Amino acid sequence: MGVSANALQAMIDGLADVRSESVRDYTAFSVHGTRFGYHWPRTATVGLKQTLSEQAALVAERPEVFEVQFTAGGFGWVVVHLEGIDADEFEELLYEAWRLSAPGELAEAHPFTPAGPR
């Protein structure tokens, strides 16, 4: 179990129109100018945009893997500890974060397709 930095990057590369911006301690990910995620290599964590209900459900279900990061604009961001999540579940959460930020027509043109066995 766990998602490596290389696996994370491969998943990011599989999403349409993503821009990455490296800052001192983290890398931010956006689609069409809207942020949907952050990666902090030092702590092996990722922050992902989610709905408020999904944020609450994830944190309540597994607080050792997920924690509340912040809420903004009607969305709840979660911190994901990469060593505690399997790749399939993480890939779905990453896609959902991307979909919540992508323009509707882009999201419709790129439905979720699991990468398959890793």
pLDDT tens for each residue of 76-103:
999 999 999 999 999 999 999 999 999 9
Give the whole-angstrom CA distance, residue 22 versus residue 24: 7
Q: Number of C-alpha atoms within 13 angstroms, CB side, residue 31? A: 25
Residue 117 banded pLDDT, cuts 50, 70, 90: low
pLDDT tens track for 60-82? 999 999 999 999 989 999 999 99
Give the whole-angstrom CA distance, residue 27 versus residue 84: 20
**What are the tokens at 32?**
């069409």
This model's pTM is above 0.85: yes
pLDDT at 116: 59
pLDDT at 118: 52
pLDDT at 107: 96
